[in-house]
Amino acid sequence: MTLLELDDVSVYYGRIQAIHNMSFTVEEGEIVSLIGANGAGKTTTMKTISGLLNPTTGTIKFMGEDITKMKAHIRVVQGISQAPEGRGIFPAMTVLENLDMGTFGRKDRSGVGEDLERVFDLFPRLKERVKQYGGTMSGGEQQMLAIGRALMSRPKLLLLDEPSMGLAPQFIRQIFKIITEINSQGTTVLLVEQNANQALARAHRGFVLETGEITHSGTGKELLANPAIKEAYLGVG
């Protein structure tokens, strides 16, 4: 089943067009990676899907329903959850309070305890730090918290905006491993990355974004093997 569908979406900042007629789909159960250099429009795409930005043209469908006009805070309840770029940790809330914020829109309070256990299984570090303030955590810990918090709404679609940004290599490997694990537990993932190597290796399918336009698409393996992409994004050539 098609979970997410963008059709001919264009997004502007004032008069500047950041996304040009973008169309793609995310199927249920997939990891889809969106690869692009700095300023390519990855974050803009994510914010448009989560509803923080509104497209000027085009439609966005989620589980077959047109959500183009739906308010961002309602999209969370519908099952779209985002770990934003820069992690967006509430600095003056503890780890537990941050995780609890992830359940803000939830109607079924009964499932919360179960999901908290699941997040603690994925990120044991968070369990040790429940009382620590978010603002005092390291970058890697904050990223774990951001992903864990996004899972607390029990999303159907998890949006991850550059989870590897600013992290040490061992953290990056760990984060990608956990993303695969989350996916195998049944959550569909749309991943945005500059770290193309790992993101494509983990993905079922991928897209390459250049100045607001999709220029390449294919399976993760195909894109990894593509010489043009190798040269531009994988640091080999």
Ligand X SMILES: Nc1ncnc2c1ncn2[C@@H]1O[C@H](COP(=O)(O)OP(=O)(O)O)[C@@H](O)[C@H]1O
* Residues near ligand X, by CB under 6 A: 13, 16, 18, 36, 38-44
Of 37 and 77, the one with the shorter C-beta distance to another protein is: 77
Shortest distance, position 159 Cβ to Mg ion, whole Å: 12
Determine contact, residues 77/70, Cβ cutoff 8 Å: no
CA neighbor of 218 nearest in space, from 230, 232, 203: 203
CA neighbor of 5 nearest in space, from 79, 69, 58: 58
Sole window of 27-35, 41-49, 88-96, 178-186 interacting with Mg ion (rule: CB under 5 A): 41-49
Of 77 and 178, the one with the shorter C-beta distance to another protein is: 77
Of 36 and 134, the one with the shorter C-beta distance to ligand X is: 36
By a kind-dependent CB cut-off of 5 to 8 A, residue 170 interacts, out of Mg ion, another protein, ligand X, none, with none
Of 41 and 206, the one with the shorter C-beta distance to another protein is: 41
202 binds another protein (CB under 8 A): no
- Strands (E) across the chain are located at 2-13, 16-27, 31-36, 57-62, 65-66, 80-83, 157-161, 188-193, 205-210, 213-219
CA dihedral 178, 179, 185, 191 (to 10 degrees): 170
43 binds Mg ion (CB under 5 A): yes
Q: What residues have CB less than 8 Å from 114, skipping those under 6 apart?
A: none
CA neighbor of 22 nearest in space, from 158, 211, 222: 211
Q: How far apart are CA 138 and CA 135, in angstroms?
A: 8
- Residues between 142 and 201 with contacts to another protein, criterion CB under 8 A: 149, 153
Size of the site for another protein (CB under 8 A): 27
Structure token digits, residue 115: 């999901």
By a kind-dependent CB cut-off of 5 to 8 A, residue 39 interacts, out of ligand X, Mg ion, another protein, none, with ligand X
Shortest distance, position 110 Cβ to ligand X, whole Å: 37
Q: Which of 85, 100, 210, 213 binds Mg ion (CB under 5 A)?
A: 85
Of 29 and 88, the one with the shorter C-beta distance to another protein is: 88
Shortest distance, position 219 Cβ to another protein, whole Å: 29
